[in-house]
C-alpha cells in the first residue's frame, strides 16, 4: 500500500464529509457540512492509499487548517479511516499540515485533541486551553460535549522564540556587570537584595 499526501480536490469531498460526520456521531470530532468542506477545500490535505494489486485509490485520512488569527492556525478535522489507523499515516499528515501552516506564514499551530500524546510525539506542547484564541471555541457550540469538554489544547511555535536580547555594558561604564542597563531596577534590586545589616 502506497500512501501519498496531497491537497484535497473536489472528488475527495464526499469521502471527507462522510468520515468526519461518522466520527462526529461518535463524539470524537466536530461535524463539518459539505458546504464548509467545499468552501475551504484549499485548506485540506488528504492521505491517499494506492493499492497496487487493484490499481485503486482510497482516501485514508485528511486534516484541515483553520486560521484563528493572522498568526495562529488550528489543525482541525484530522481523521484517519479506521482501517488505516495505527500505521503512521496521521504521523505523516500532521507534519504536512504543519509545513502548510509554515508556508502560509503562520507563527503558531494548535489543535484540540483527545490524543495529546499523539501530538506531543510530533513536537507539540500541551498548553492551557484557555490561553488559545477564543476563536478556537467558536465551533464548540456545535459540540455535544460543550459543557463537559475533555479536549486538550496543544501548540507548536513555527518561528524561533526571540532570544533574550544581549545588551552589552556601555563602554563608558566598565564596572557595570549586569546584562542590561536598568538603573532604576538596579537601585531597587540592591536595596532588596542587600542583607539586613545587624549591628
Ligand atoms: C488520532 C488519529 C488521527 C491518529 O492517526 P493514526 O494514523 O492512527 O496515527 P499514527 O499511526 O501515526 O500513530 C498512532 C499510534 O500508532 C503508533 N504507530 C505509528 N506508526 C505505526 C505503525 N507503522 N504501526 C503501528 N503503530 C504505529 C504510534 O506510536 C501512535 O501511538 P500514540 O497513540 O502514542 O500516538 C487517528 O487515530 C484518528 O483519526 N482517530 C479518530 C479520529 C480522531 O480522534 N480525530 C481527532 C484527532 S485530533
How far, in Å, is the centroid of ligand 1 from the Cα of 134? 28
- Find the range with the poorest average confidence among 20-24, 164-168, 179-183: 179-183
Q: Report the number of distinct structural domains present in the chain.
A: 1
Residue nearest to atom 15 of ligand 1 (CA): 86
pLDDT of residue 165: 53
169 or 49, which is more confident: 49
Distance CA 147, CA 110 (A): 21
CA dihedral 152, 158, 163, 164 (to 10 degrees): -40
Residue ranges in 43-179 assigned as alpha helix (H): 89-103, 116-120
Q: Given pLDDT bands bounded at 50, 70 and 90, which one contains residue 136?
A: low
- Whole-number percent of the chain with pLDDT over 90: 64
Of the candidates 145, 32, 23, the residue with the CA atom closest to the CA atom of residue 90:
23
Residue 163 within a domain: no
Out of 89, 91, 98, mutate this one to test ligand 1's pocket (max ligand atoms within 8 Å of CB): namely 91
How far, in Å, is the centroid of ligand 1 from the Cα of 79? 9
Out of 1, 24, 80, mutate this one to test ligand 1's pocket (max ligand atoms within 8 Å of CB): namely 80
Residue nearest to atom 24 of ligand 1 (CA): 87
Residue 182 within a domain: no
63 membership: H or E segment, kind and range: strand 56-67
Residue 172 within a domain: no
Render pLDDT for 142-179 as a digit per residue (tens, 0 to 9).
666 666 677 899 999 998 865 555 444 445 444 444 44
Render pLDDT for 70-94 as a digit per residue (tens, 0 to 9).
999 999 999 999 999 999 999 999 9
Residue 17 within a domain: yes
User: Containing domain of residue 129, as a range?
Assistant: 2-157
The string of DSSP letters for 136-152 reads GGGGGGG-TTGGG---E
Q: What is the mean pLDDT of residues 10-35?
A: 95
Residue 153 within a domain: yes
Residue 26 near ligand 1, beta carbon < 6 Å: no
Contact 130, 136 (CB under 8 A): no
Report the predicted TM-score, pTM, of the whole model to 2 decimal places.
0.79
pLDDT of residue 184: 40
Q: Give 122-128 contacts, CB < 8 A, sequence gap 24+.
A: 122/91, 122/94, 122/95, 122/98, 123/156, 124/154, 124/155, 124/156, 125/154, 125/155, 125/156, 126/152, 126/153, 126/154, 127/153, 127/154, 127/155, 128/153
Residue 69 within a domain: yes
CATH number of the CATH domain containing 71? 3.40.630.30
Residue 154 near ligand 1, beta carbon < 6 Å: no
pLDDT of residue 130: 78
Distance CA 38, CA 10 (A): 7
Residue 41 has pLDDT above 90, yes or no: yes
Q: Given pLDDT bands bounded at 50, 70 and 90, which one contains residue 11?
A: very high
Residue 49 within a domain: yes
Residue 69 near ligand 1, beta carbon < 6 Å: no
Contact 109, 74 (CB under 8 A): yes
CA 127 to chain centre: 11
Q: What is the mean pLDDT of residues 27-49?
A: 95
Residue 119 near ligand 1, beta carbon < 6 Å: no
65, β-bridge pairs: 75
- Find the range with the poorest average confidence among 103-107, 114-118, 189-193: 189-193
Residue 86 near ligand 1, beta carbon < 6 Å: yes
Residue 24 within a domain: yes
3 membership: H or E segment, kind and range: strand 2-7
Amino acid at each position: 500500500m502506497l500512501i501519498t499526501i496531497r491537497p484535497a480536490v473536489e472528488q475527495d469531498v464526499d469521502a471527507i464529509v462522510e468520515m468526519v460526520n461518522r466520527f462526529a456521531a461518535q463524539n470524537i470530532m466536530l461535524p463539518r457540512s459539505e458546504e464548509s468542506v467545499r468552501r475551504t477545500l484549499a485548506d485540506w490535505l488528504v492521505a491517499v492509499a494506492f493499492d497496487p494489486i487493484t490499481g485503486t485509490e482510497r482516501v485514508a485520512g485528511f486534516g484541515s487548517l483553520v486560521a484563528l488569527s493572522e498568526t495562529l492556525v488550528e489543525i482541525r478535522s484530522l481523521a484517519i479511516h479506521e482501517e488505516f489507523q495505527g500505521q503512521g499515516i496521521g504521523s505523516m499528515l500532521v507534519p504536512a499540515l504543519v509545513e502548510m501552516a509554515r508556508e502560509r506564514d503562520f507563527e503558531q499551530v494548535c489543535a484540540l485533541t483527545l490524543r495529546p500524546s499523539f501530538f506531543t510525539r510530533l513536537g507539540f506542547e500541551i498548553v492551557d486551553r484557555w490561553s488559545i484564541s477564543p476563536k478556537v471555541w467558536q465551533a464548540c457550540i456545535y459540540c455535544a460535549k460543550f459543557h463537559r469538554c475533555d479536549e486538550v489544547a496543544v501548540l507548536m511555535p513555527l518561528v524561533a522564540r526571540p532570544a533574550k536580547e544581549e545588551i552589552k555594558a556601555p563602554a563608558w561604564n566598565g564596572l557595570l556587570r549586569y546584562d542590561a542597563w536598568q538603573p532604576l531596577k538596579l537601585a531597587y534590586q540592591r536595596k532588596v537584595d542587600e542583607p539586613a545589616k545587624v549591628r
